[in-house]
Structure 1
Amino acid sequence: MHTTKPPAASGPQQFPDALAAELWRFERALAHGLIPPADVHGCRWSATVLQAALDAKAEIWPATGTLPDKDATRPATLLAERFGIPVDADVLPELDRKGLIPRTDDYKSHPLYDGLATENVTHRTALDKARRDGRLLDRHPAARHPAIRDSNFTHLTRPRWLRPATHVRSRHQPRSWAPSVPLYRLGDLDVLLAHPAIDWDDVRATPKGRPSALAHLTVQNRVPESEKGLQGK
């Protein structure tokens, strides 16, 4: 009986074709070390490696999961269905920030998120914390969170103790303009509320017309950039 010999070496297209695998599944298996890196010059795999992968297909493919990397909408929908709660797509950057669902790539200017990591989120506590910490507030609600006046809030943003997490367009902006309305993470505000350099009772007790108790904050003595929670991404 005549049998076709496998090619001497397979490239990044021939290898997944030989395994009858979708390209995303092959790339994930490669990224997770389930398939060894190319062992032939020119980013190709030897027949020996290909045969070993064919023999191990039953173990490799289940470990790659069932969900390709997708934009924020699909993971949010799956999490909402899994836990029976509303999950907005805006929570995905926070899940990335916390290392739960990493951002893996971009497609047409939209970030893609790890499908396997999405499948592995099984604890609602972590999701609830991400939903809360990642909540985005514009200036006025952000000032109300620590119960301070807008003028005091400026003493946090001007020396960059608090940085915007992102910017969005106002309803009055033409779509051709860059987003200009800053939004702030609730988690960043919580970090400031616990910071020992700020006496929040003193800040709130200072009457209008008196120097703010936050006026001493400067760029030089702001929270170090290494401290988690105060870096806008």
Structure 2
Amino acid sequence: MGKTQERADYCPQQFPDRLGFWLWRFERAVAKGLIPPADVGGRRWSAAVVEEVAGRAEEIRTETGGLPDMGAVRAAALLEERFEVPVAAEVMVELDRLGLVERVGDYKGHALYDGQALEDFADRAVLERAKHNGRLLDRTAAAKYLGIRACDFDHLTRAKWLRPQMWVHSGWQRRRDAPCVALFRLGDLDVLLVHPAIDWDPVRATPKGRPSPLARLTSQIPTV
């Protein structure tokens, strides 16, 4: 048999194969600057570059971690197994908000979270706070949590004292329609519960059919 012809350059699929890397690890290494930019036509790497990088493959493997970026459901399941406590997918939104496990992209409309940060996350106390503060409630459940009527709750959102964390589809909506159900962060409700500008007792004592004391709220939230 003749001698195998050596490649002059490598495409983005051939390069990770040469290193023995999954594509996610290769792309992370490029993003972190561990692999130089393509030097042949802006889209391929010369054999010289590939061989230089291959000599650092184990170092790159260590610096890119052992977990790919992943969706919220899979990430929450991983945390649940690690900490042996129930973890809902919505906790990932809170960990991203805290800058601990950030959202790094999307796949088919679903958020992807930083696998390397997820691998390093080990703070049980922070996780428990994130589970509480990051819990998401719809309008009805949020009003019940505050102990007020739904119409009272609407004044909080009208005056922008409370803003939805995200919007999701209802059970009867078509997937192609814009989501119409607002979800509110439990941590934001807790802030309102102790806000000195709101006296909750009169609000909760207001009978059905009577105007809400919260109707007087303006969008100018007093500082505390």
* TM-score range normalised by the length of the shorter chain: 0.7 to 0.9
Equivalent residues in 2 for 1:73-222 (5 A)?
73-171=73-171, 173-175=172-174, 178-195=178-195, 198-201=197-200, 203-204=202-203, 207-208=206-207, 212-219=212-219, 221-222=220-221
Q: Is the 8 A contact 2:104 2:112 kept in 1?
A: yes
Amino acid in structure 2 at the alignment position of 1:134: G
Q: Which has the higher helix share?
A: 2
Question: TM-score, normalised to structure 2's length?
Answer: 0.81
Amino acid in structure 1 at the alignment position of 2:14: Q
Q: 1:170/1:18 Cα in 2 relative to 1: closer, same or farther (>3 Å)? A: closer
Q: Distance in 2 between matches of 1:18 and 1:199?
A: 64
Q: Which stretch of structure 1 is more off in the superposition, 17-26 or 3-12? A: 3-12
SS at match of 2:68: coil
Q: Give ranges in structure 2 of 5+ residues lacking alignment.
A: none
Q: Distance in 1 between matches of 2:144 and 2:199?
A: 13
Q: 1:142/1:8 Cα in 2 relative to 1: closer, same or farther (>3 Å)? A: same
Q: Distance in 2 between matches of 1:17 and 1:169?
A: 40
Q: Is the 8 A contact 2:70 2:113 kept in 1?
A: yes
Q: 1:16/1:182 Cα in 2 relative to 1: closer, same or farther (>3 Å)? A: same
Matched with 2:44 is 44
Q: Distance in 1 between matches of 2:58 and 2:168?
A: 46
Q: Is the 8 A contact 1:39 1:45 kept in 2?
A: yes
Q: Give ranges in structure 1 of 5+ residues lacking alignment.
A: 225-233
Q: 1:45/1:200 Cα in 2 relative to 1: closer, same or farther (>3 Å)? A: farther
Q: Is the 8 A contact 1:148 1:203 kept in 2?
A: no
Q: Is the 8 A contact 1:206 1:213 kept in 2?
A: no
Q: Is the 8 A contact 2:69 2:115 kept in 1?
A: yes
SS at match of 2:142: helix
Q: Which stretch of structure 1 is more off in the superposition, 102-111 or 200-209? A: 200-209
Work out the percentage of aligned pairs sharing the same amino acid. Answer: 53
Aligned pairs, how many? 220
Question: TM-score, normalised to structure 1's length?
Answer: 0.78
Shift of 1:60: 0.8
Matched with 1:63 is 63
